[in-house]
Amino acid sequence: MAAILPNTLSFRLTLLYALAFSIFLLAAFGFALLLVKSSMNNEINDDLSEDIIEYRKIFRSGRIEQVIDEIKRDIKPGEPDDEFVVIMDIHGQHIFSSDIRGWKGLGINNEIISTITGRTSDDGIYFETQEIPEREFDTRIAYGLIGPDVIIQIGESLEQTAEMLGLLIYLFLISFLVIIPTALIFGWYITRRAVSGIEKVSNAATAIKNGNLDCRVDVSGQSSEIQNLVDTFNSMAHRIRELITEMREMIDNIAHDLRTPLGRIRMISEMTLSSANNEACKTAAANTLEQCDKLLQYINATLDVAEAEAGVATSKNEPVDISAVTNDACELFETIAEVKNIKVTARLEPGCIVSGNRQNLQRMIANILDNALKYTSANGKVDINLDKNDNHIKITITDTGIGIPAIDQQRVFDRFFRCDQSRIEEGCGLGLSFSRAVARSHNGDITLTSTPGVGTEFIISIPAWQK
């Protein structure tokens, strides 16, 4: 069930709101129903009491025959049998009764009779509700003395009360079916407004995690708690942006500052190598040149990544036939694939155009393809697919190489990061970082899926050129 129902704050708050509203509505209706039932019972009690008092006055001013005549006038034969009157003595023997054929099973409450006969005055009236077997509805019955040793029993069917209560229940059910969905919609709207600020903060945090450090949250009309959260988040994001910018500037400055002295060291090493007379000096100079070349390669790669991330290289975009660029890369690495006996299969949709920097796009594809060949063993396979779908160009490069451990898959795009398996190969750990920076500078991205011992799949997605 937890997998079926959405586990969101909006959904839970809406359910709680609807549940609380339903409980309140049920309680209010139950209370109203009790009030209506009590009011109608009191009204029936008042009617029965008035009848007994009226018959008592007639008995006192005349004889019992006059009471019987009055009962006959009040309850005429053939009228609906929703009430009856019985006159009895203190032993329960009938003196007179209206038509009670429809009241079969009518009983006498001996406890009430005993209470009435034990009273010194005749002004008491007592009530009971009796369930008569052959009647659909209960009967409200009143007892009272109308004269010495003469008791009157008057009953009235509770059919009208039951019908009224049934109608109210029916109306409530109809209202419930209308009100609850309305309450759900209203509750959903209220909770969505309440948590919209939180969702914006979450979306902004995701964007920042994905590299968009300039993303901020803009909300209005929110509660003070949400506004404080948004303000704090924006301040934190601004500070993170400043720190990362300072770190990148520091790295770039260091790279720039190192390139000049390294260039001088390299030049001195070349002069030493050309003028050295003994083998030891030549070897030392050659080693120094080699290490200077590696350091310069690292520095140049670091600066290239910084430029790609800053979007400097894409400031002058041009239409680029990415199909042709990919095909050129495949031809470039064809010799390496043949040497390692790796089967390279390219399925490229022709004429796919993107807008960007041709040189950087070439290096991006070459980096991914180079990695695929570098970490694929002999007799392996590398597949390159390029197709256009929904105004996007997708380049998929799949290999049967050593794969990337799950713990490293989120870090392979970081600067200078190298997996343990890749340390046996030459490199500086900037190729994938540069490739992703190029893809993102072209409003695209690079993703990967990998299984150690099975292979890796890189997917490059770039928007197609819009004429």
What CATH number does the domain containing 383 carry? 3.30.565.10
Q: What is the CATH number of the domain that holds 97?
A: 3.30.450
Element (H, E) at 337: helix 334-339
The confidence score (pLDDT) of residue 259 equals 64
Strand 392-399 relative to strand 455-463: parallel, antiparallel, unpaired? Answer: antiparallel
Residues ≥6 apart with Cβ < 8 Å to 416: 428, 429, 430, 433
DSSP letter at 316 equals S
Do 415 and 430 contact (CB within 8 A), yes or no? yes
Inter-helix orientation angle 9-61/64-74, to 10°: 140
Q: Domain range spanning residue 442?
A: 318-463
Residues ≥6 apart with Cβ < 8 Å to 370: 333, 431
Query: What is the rounded average pLDDT of the residues 346-353?
Result: 90
183 within some domain: no
* Same domain (yes/no): 150, 258: no
The confidence score (pLDDT) of residue 257 equals 61
> 142: pLDDT confidence band, cut at 50, 70 and 90?
very high
* Same domain (yes/no): 133, 260: no
> 327: pLDDT confidence band, cut at 50, 70 and 90?
very high
Query: What is the rounded average pLDDT of the residues 324-330?
Result: 91
pLDDT at 64 over 90: no
Strand 455-463 relative to strand 445-451: parallel, antiparallel, unpaired? Answer: antiparallel
Residue with tokens 């819009």: 466
> 387: pLDDT confidence band, cut at 50, 70 and 90?
very high
Which tokens hold the place of 162?
Answer: 């039951």
The confidence score (pLDDT) of residue 23 equals 87
DSSP result, 121-157: SS--EEEEEE--TT-SS-EEEEEEEEETTEEEEEEEE
Of 135, 163, 191, the last residue of a domain is 163
DSSP letter at 458 equals E
Q: Across-strand partners of 171?
A: none
DSSP letter at 464 equals B
As for how many domains the chain has, the answer is: 3
**What is the rounded distance in angstroms from the CA atom of residue 463 to the CA atom of residue 33?**
66
219 within some domain: no
171 within some domain: no
The confidence score (pLDDT) of residue 120 equals 59
Do 140 and 48 contact (CB within 8 A), yes or no? yes
Look at 458 and 122; give whichever has higher pLDDT.
Answer: 458
pLDDT at 383 over 90: yes
The confidence score (pLDDT) of residue 311 equals 55
Rg over alpha carbons for the chain, rounded to the nearest Å, is 48
* Same domain (yes/no): 325, 446: yes
Residues ≥6 apart with Cβ < 8 Å to 320: 353, 354, 355, 356, 357, 358, 361, 465
The confidence score (pLDDT) of residue 312 equals 47
* Same domain (yes/no): 294, 328: no
pLDDT at 356 over 90: no
The confidence score (pLDDT) of residue 2 equals 45
Q: What is the CATH number of the domain that holds 297?
A: 1.10.287
The confidence score (pLDDT) of residue 397 equals 93
The confidence score (pLDDT) of residue 307 equals 62
Mean residue pLDDT of the chain comes to 80
The confidence score (pLDDT) of residue 385 equals 93
Q: ∠ at Cα 214 (239, 254), nearest 5°? A: 65
pLDDT at 437 over 70: yes
430 within some domain: yes
4 within some domain: no
Do 446 and 439 contact (CB within 8 A), yes or no? yes
The confidence score (pLDDT) of residue 309 equals 58
pLDDT at 459 over 80: yes
> 183: pLDDT confidence band, cut at 50, 70 and 90?
confident
pLDDT tens per residue across span 241-259: 777 776 666 666 666 666 6
Query: What is the rounded average pLDDT of the residues 90-96?
Result: 86
The confidence score (pLDDT) of residue 273 equals 64
* Same domain (yes/no): 118, 142: yes
pLDDT at 457 over 90: yes
